[in-house]
Amino acid sequence: MDEQYSFLKQIDPESSNLIKGLQQIQAVEGYVSDDAIRAAAEYFNIPEVEVEGVLSFYAQFKRVKPGKYQICVCDGTACHIKGAPLVHEWLKQELGLDPGETDADGIFSVETVACLGCCSLAPVMSVNGKVYAKLDRKNLKKILKEYAEK
Amino acid sequence: MKIRFLRVGVASCGIAAGADKVFEKLKEKAGDIPVIGVGCLGHCYAEPVVEAVTDSGESILYRDVKGTDEAVDNILALGENNHFVIPEKRKAHELVKVLALAGKVDPTNMDDYIANGGYEGLKKALSLSPEEVVNQVKISGLRGRGGGGFPTGTKWSFLAAKQAEEKILICNADEGDPGAFMDRSLMESVPHQLLEGMLIAAYAMGATKLFIYCRAEYPMAIKHLKIAIEQIYKAQLNVVNGRKLEIIIKEGAGAFVCGEETALIASLEGKRGTPRFRPPFPTDSGYKGYPTMINNVETFGNVPVILREGGEAFAKVGTENSKGTKLFALAGDLKNPGLVEVPMGTTLNEIVFEIGGADRDSVKAVQTGGPSGGCIPVELFDTPVDYDSLKALGAIMGSGGLIVIGKDRCMVETARYFLDFTHRESCGKCTFCRVGTMRMFETLERIVAGKGKESDLDLLEDLGKKIKAGALCGLGQTAPNPVLATLRYYRNEYIDHVKNNRCTARQCNAFVKLAVDKDKCIKCKMCIRTCPVNAIDENFNIDPAACTRCNSCLDVCPKTPFSGRI
Ligand SMILES: Cc1cc2nc3c(=O)[nH]c(=O)nc-3n(C[C@H](O)[C@H](O)[C@H](O)COP(=O)(O)O)c2cc1C
Ligand code: SF4
Ligand code: SF4
Ligand code: FES
C-alpha cells in the first residue's frame, strides 16, 4: 500500500470498518481520491467497485478537493424556513459559488448540509466545523471577511 | 451574597451563539470561583446563558451574555443587566425528568453525574433479575422515542428470550429529521445517562456488544460520549453479567435512510445503507446475523429514570397509551425556540404558544415528524400530543421535532422542500420511492414556479397513495405525508397556485413582484447601488425578469418604501 495511506493501519482491516477508513482518509486529505479508493480496497480487501459504491451512497464523502475553508450551509427544516436559500444567494454574490463549488484559489468551498442541530438559532452555517448562527447578510459578510484575511 | 460557582451552557447551540468566548472570559476573571461548562438548559433563544449559584444555593440566570469585560463583570457582581427569568408559563407546563441533569452537570465529569443520582438506576437494575428489569420497562408503558412508538418493554422481551452466543445492542443516534435536536442535546449534556440506559438494557437482555451509531454532524456529542465511555471503563461500570462490555461509537456518513433499522445495520457492517425486507427482524438476525436490538437515544435516556422511580410511578405521567414525558425541539416562527420536556398529552396550544411564545395571530401550522410527518393547522392545536392523536390527524409524533410555520409561509413550498429532501434521500431500491418521490418533487416545483395545472393535484394525491403502498421502508412509506397533509388542510393554497395565479402566502417568487413605493422613497439610491443584478433603473423601476428576489434592496432601504410583495 502507498506510504501516503499508512495511517489506515490504525484501523482494524475488518470490512465493517470500511466507512471508518474512508472517513479517516477524508479527515486527512479533505476528500477521497482515486488513489485513496485503491488503497482502501487493498487494505480492507474489498473490490474497488464496492468501495466506490459505498462512497457514492453517503452524502458525507467528497470526490473532489474542497477549499481551505469549507462552508456548510444548513438547509434543514428550521433553517430552510428561516432563509437558507437566501444564505446561498448571498454566498453566490460574495464568492460566486453555488453549492458543491470551490473557488479558483482553493480558499472557499460551499456545500449544503441537512441540520447541524442548532435549529433554534436558524439560519446557521458552519465553516470548517465552527457553527455560525442567526445569519443575516451583514454578519455573513463579516465572517467571510475574517476568513479571507486569515 | 457570594457566588459559589458559575455554570455556562457550552453545548453546540450555546457555542454557536458565542458561549465559548463567555466561558473563556469568565474563567479569566472569576478568580477562585469555579466556572463549569455544562450542557444545554433548553433555552436556546436566550443563549449564551450563564447561571450563578450563590452561597445560599440561590440560582441567578443571565441571558444573551456577551464575551466582553462589561458583561462578565456584571455577572460577577451579580448585577441587574441581562437577568433571565424563566417565563412562568413555561414552568407551569414543563416536567423535567429525562433532561433533569442537562445544564446542571459537567458532561465530561462522571463524578458530577454520580453525585446527582447518576448510575442509581443501573445499581437498582443489577439488584433485580434481568426479567424483572424488562418487566419494569413493560409496566412503565415506555414507547420507542425514535418515531415508531413501539412498546419498548415488549421489544426487549423478544431479544431477552433469544439464546445466542452474541447479542447486539445498538443506540440509534442518527437523528436524521432535519429540524430535530433532542438527541444531540441529551448526548452533549448528559452522555452518561445514555450509557447508563444502555448498560441497563444490556443487563436486561444479555447483550454482549454495544454500538452507538451517531451522525457525524454531531462532533461534540461524539467527543463527550468518548470521554464518558473511557470513564466508565475505568470505573468498571461496564462489567455487566460478569462480562466486560465494550461500547463502540460508529459515525454515520450522512444518509437519512440509515436511521431505518435494517439500513443502519448494513451501514454498521460497512456497506451501503439500504434497507432490506423484514422478516427476518433484527431481533432474529441483525448485525452480522446476530440477534440485535435497536433503540433511540431518548428511549435509553428514559430507562434510568424508570429504574430509579419504578415502572409504576413512571406510568403515572402521560396519557392512556403514551406514558412519561417527551422532549420537543421547537424551531421556526416563534419567539422562544429551544428544547422542552413536557408530559405526554400536553396540547400543541400549550407547547407552541405558552412555552414557545409564538404569536397567536401569526401562526398557521406546525410540522411534526419532519419529512415523514405532516402539518397540523392552528385550528387543531387543542390536540393533546401523543402517538395516537397525532396519527389520527395525518401527522406523526416522529422523534419530537416541532417546526412552527408562520402565516407568511407558503404550504406548497413547504411540501416541496420536504419532497426535495426525501427524493434525494431515497436509497433507490424501490421504484415507487425512487421515481415516485422524484415525480412528486418535479410536480411541486412546477406548481411553485407558476406552471402547475389543476390536474396536478389529483396526480399528487394518486402518486402519494401509491408510493405509500409500494415502498419497502418507512422512508418511502411516509415520504408523501407532507404533501398529502398540506393537500388535506391547505388545498386552497394549491388551487391559488394552479388556478388563480397567485401564492396565498406571497412567498413563491414566480408570483411575487417587488416595487418601490414612490411616495415614501427619499431617492437615496441605496437600493440601486446594492442590487447585485442591476435590476433597478434610475427611475426606481424594478425589472421583474432580472430581479432574483434576494431582498438586498429591502435590507438597505432606510425608509422601507418598498410596497413589497404584490
Ligand atoms: C427513514 C427512517 C429514518 C429514521 N431515523 C431515525 C433516527 O434518526 N433516529 C431514531 O432513533 N430512529 C429513527 N428511525 C426509526 C428507527 O428505524 C427505529 O424504529 C428506532 O430507532 C427504534 O428505536 P425506538 O424503539 O427506541 O424508537 C427512522 C426510521 C426510518 C424509516
Ligand atoms: S422505500 Fe425508498 S428508501 Fe426505503 S428501501 Fe425503498 S427505495 Fe429505499
Ligand atoms: S430583490 Fe435583489 S435583485 Fe431584486 S431588485 Fe432588490 S436587490 Fe435587486
Ligand atoms: S435546521 Fe439548520 S440547524 Fe437544524
Instruction: Determine the distance from the C-alpha atom of residue B1 to the mean position of all C-alpha atoms in its chain, rounded to a whole number.
Output: 39
Residue A40 and residue A88 share a domain: no
Comparing B228 with B540, the larger pLDDT belongs to B228
Residue A138 and residue A75 share a domain: yes
Is B146 in contact with B299 (CB distance < 8 Å)?
yes
Q: Is B230 helix (H, G, I), strand (E, B) or coil?
A: helix
Let me know if B563 is exposed, middle or buried by CB neighbors in 10 A (0-12, 13-18, 19+).
Answer: middle
C-alpha A55 to ligand 1 mean position (Å)? 23
What is the pLDDT at residue B241?
Answer: 85
Total domain count, chain A: 2
Interchain pair B329, A75: CB under 8 A: no
CATH assignment at residue B440: 1.20.1440.230
Interchain pair A81, B409: CB under 8 A: yes
**For residue A64, is it within any domain?**
no
Confidence class of residue A89 from pLDDT cuts 50, 70 and 90?
confident
What is the pLDDT at residue B560?
Answer: 65
CATH assignment at residue B341: 3.10.20.600
Q: Which residues pair with B330 in a beta bridge?
A: B338, B402
Whether A124 shows a pLDDT value over 60: the answer reads: yes
Chain B residues whose CB is inside 8 A of the A133 CB are 16-17
Instruction: Determine the distance from the C-alpha atom of residue B218 to the mean position of all C-alpha atoms in its chain, rounded to a whole number.
Output: 13
Whether B29 shows a pLDDT value over 80: the answer reads: yes
Pick the most confident of A74-78, A79-83, B84-88, B431-435: B431-435
Distance CA B77, CA B144 (A): 46
Q: Which three cell numbers stand for residue A118?
A: 442548532
Residue A37 and residue A85 share a domain: no
Residue A95 and residue A39 share a domain: no
From B284, B314, B344, the end of a domain falls on: B314
Total domain count, chain B: 5
**For residue B104, is it within any domain?**
no
Distance CA B59, CA B76 (A): 13
CA-based nearest distance A28→chain B, Å:
16
Q: Is the peptide bond before B280 cis (omega within 30 degrees of 0)?
A: yes
Closest-CA residue, ligand 1 atom 30, reads: B260
Interchain pair A121, B269: CB under 8 A: no
Residue B257 and residue B172 share a domain: yes
Residue B270 and residue B144 share a domain: yes
Domain that residue B434 falls in = 411-498
What is the pLDDT at residue B422?
Answer: 95
Residue B57 and residue B21 share a domain: yes
DSSP conformational letter for B52:
E
Whether B564 shows a pLDDT value over 60: the answer reads: no
Residue A78 and residue A144 share a domain: yes
Confidence class of residue A61 from pLDDT cuts 50, 70 and 90?
very high
How confident is the prediction for chain B on average, in pLDDT?
93
Chain B residues whose CB is inside 8 A of the A18 CB are 270-271
Residue A77 and residue A52 share a domain: no
| CB-ligand 2 contact for B138 (6 Å cutoff) | no
CATH assignment at residue A102: 3.40.30.10
Residue B328's H or E segment, with its range, is strand B325-332
Residue B300 and residue B158 share a domain: yes
The pTM score is 0.92
Residue A138 and residue A73 share a domain: yes
Distance CA B508, CA B400 (A): 28
As a whole number, mean pLDDT of residues A81-101 equals 89
As a whole number, mean pLDDT of residues B213-227 equals 95
Residue B422 and residue B549 share a domain: no
**For residue B557, is it within any domain?**
yes
Residue A35 and residue A8 share a domain: yes
As a whole number, mean pLDDT of residues B277-297 equals 97
The minimal CB distance from B270 to the residues A15, A78, A90 is found for: A15
- Letter for the amino acid at B528? I
Range B224-229, long-range pairs (CB < 8 A, 24+ positions)? B224/B107, B224/B108, B224/B187, B224/B188, B224/B191, B225/B187, B225/B191, B225/B194, B225/B195, B225/B249, B227/B108, B227/B191, B228/B107, B228/B108, B228/B110, B228/B191, B228/B192, B228/B195, B229/B195
Q: Which residues contact A113 (CB under 8 A, 6 or more apart)?
A: A72, A73, A74, A75, A126, B217, B254
Q: Which three cell numbers stand for residue B78?
A: 451579580
- In chain B, residues 230-289 whose CB comes closer than 8 Å to chain A: 250-256, 267-274, 288
Q: Which three cell numbers stand for residue B120?
A: 442509581
From B377, B406, B435, the end of a domain falls on: B406
Closest-CA residue, ligand 3 atom 4, reads: B547
What is the pLDDT at residue B561?
Answer: 59
CATH assignment at residue B11: 3.40.30.10
Chain A residues whose CB is inside 8 A of the B338 CB are 120
Closest atom of ligand 2 to B477 CA is: 1
From B314, B346, B380, the end of a domain falls on: B314
Confidence class of residue B566 from pLDDT cuts 50, 70 and 90?
very low
Identify which of B378, B376, B352, B374 has the alpha carbon closest to the alpha carbon of residue B364.
B378
**For residue B196, is it within any domain?**
yes
B341 has a chain A CB within 8 A of its CB: no
C-alpha B39 to ligand 2 mean position (Å)? 36
Distance CA B282, CA B287 (A): 8
Closest-CA residue, ligand 1 atom 29, reads: B260
Residue A44 and residue A20 share a domain: yes
Interchain pair A121, B16: CB under 8 A: yes
Domain that residue A25 falls in = 3-57
Q: Is B198 helix (H, G, I), strand (E, B) or coil?
A: helix
**For residue A115, is it within any domain?**
yes
Whether B137 shows a pLDDT value over 90: the answer reads: yes
Q: Is B170 helix (H, G, I), strand (E, B) or coil?
A: strand
